[in-house]
Amino acid sequence: MSARSNSSGNKITVRSLHEKKQVGEKIVCLTAYDASFARVLDQAGVDVVLVGDSLGMVVQGNETTLPVTVDEMLYHSQMVARGLTNSLLIVDMPFLSDTSVEAALENAGLFMKQAGAQMVKLEGGAEQADIVSILVQHGIPVCAHLGLQPQRVHKLGGYRVQGREASAAEAMLQEAKILEQAGADLIVLECVPAELAETITGALSVPVIGIGASAACDGQILVLYDILGLSMGRIPRFSHNFLSEAGSIKGAIQAYVEAVKSGTFPGQDHIFS
Ligand code: KIV
């Protein structure tokens, strides 16, 4: 049996994520970057562990996620995979690792083959539909990432809420539908007005995971170091320091899991209008 085999039947799969949406059970997602934290998340009942390219900021101390390489993502993903038994592992495609079908297939293939990823996440809208479709055709589940896309921070002129104007909101809704049609199994919405996030969640049959989006999303994701109050600089408004109340790392992660499952997170302070 491999280290990640699990005979208890609690293993999260793409299918079980879809079932959670159908029955209205919230999906708890959190980032991790090494085996020890991954194990704590797994044991606390986090459904999805994302090796986010946010590691470029919170682990490496860069200003943006742009410098992160495929090799670095692979290194961290392999560590995280060793800590997981039940949680589903998603690995972020780092900046410019998915600019062609060939590059996307090669790099996503590395994460699946050498790190045991069960899904890859890529930023971008309708322009990514062909790449999503090819990955899916080759058996690689995809999570699409709409709204604020940190890899485009320079083009966006900062980390800003996206989709506030009616035309941008309509465009995002259409892009979400196109990505679902292309085969995406999950959609992350980052920093979008709560009303738009709710509309997109209701319009799609695949689960929608919010970060700075809406409590009405099918699940939530945050950056681990933010909820532990470890991130350098200011904690984003949409996040919350769960450690200061819980008093231990394990307690903080359990409190986050409970808050997402019960619908008490995100609250009004963590969403945008
Ligand atoms: O890189 C990351 O951690 C992410 C999440 C914040 C969604 O993309």
DSSP of 11-44? ---HHHHHHHHHHTPPEEEEE--SHHHHHHHHHH
d(CA 54, CA 188): 14
Distance 147 CA to ligand 1 centre (A): 12
* Ligand 1: residue whose CA is nearest its atom 3: 52
List per-residue pLDDT tens for the chain, 273 residues long: 344 444 457 999 999 999 999 999 999 999 999 999 999 999 999 999 999 999 999 999 999 999 999 999 999 999 999 999 999 999 999 999 999 999 999 999 999 999 999 999 999 999 999 999 999 999 999 999 999 999 999 999 999 999 999 999 999 999 999 999 999 999 999 999 999 999 999 999 999 999 999 999 999 999 999 999 998 888 999 999 999 999 999 999 999 999 999 999 999 999 999
Q: If DSSP codes are grouped into helix, strand and coil, which group holds residue 182?
A: helix
Instruction: Choose the residue to mutate in 53, 80, 122, 191 for probing ligand 1, maximizing ligand atoms within 8 Å of C-beta.
Output: 53
Domain regions of the chain by residue span = 6-270
Distance 52 CA to ligand 1 centre (A): 5
Tokens 């995971």 sit on residue: 209
Ligand 1 binding site (Cβ under 6 Å of any ligand atom):
31, 50, 52-54, 92, 188, 190, 211, 221, 223
List Cβ neighbours of 123 (8 Å cut-off, separation of 6 or more): 93, 145, 149, 150, 151, 152
d(CA 43, CA 35): 12
d(CA 261, CA 273): 23
Rg (CA), the chain: 17
Beta carbons within 10 angstroms of residue 24's beta carbon: 7
Tokens of 215: 């409590």
Q: Which atom of ligand 1 is nearest to the CA of 65?
A: 1
d(CA 44, CA 72): 26
List Cβ neighbours of 117 (8 Å cut-off, separation of 6 or more): 51, 77, 81, 89, 90, 91, 108, 111
* Ligand 1: residue whose CA is nearest its atom 4: 52
Q: How far is CA 259 from CA 71, 86, 240, 252, in A?
A: 34, 20, 11, 10
**DSSP secondary structure letter of residue 93:** P
Instruction: Choose the residue to mutate in 91, 221, 224, 228 for probing ligand 1, maximizing ligand atoms within 8 Å of C-beta.
Output: 221
List Cβ neighbours of 132 (8 Å cut-off, separation of 6 or more): 122, 142, 144, 179, 182, 183, 184
Q: Determine the pLDDT at residue 8.
A: 52
Q: Known catalytic residues?
A: 190
* Ligand 1: residue whose CA is nearest its atom 7: 221
* Ligand 1: residue whose CA is nearest its atom 5: 52
CB 220 within 8 A of CB 260: yes
Q: How far apart are the first and last CA of the chain?
A: 49
CATH topology assigned to domain 6-270: TIM Barrel (3.20.20)
Q: Which atom of ligand 1 is nearest to the CA of 188?
A: 7
Distance 150 CA to ligand 1 centre (A): 8
Q: Determine the pLDDT at residue 232.
A: 85
CB 225 within 8 A of CB 35: no
Beta carbons within 10 angstroms of residue 141's beta carbon: 22
Distance 123 CA to ligand 1 centre (A): 10
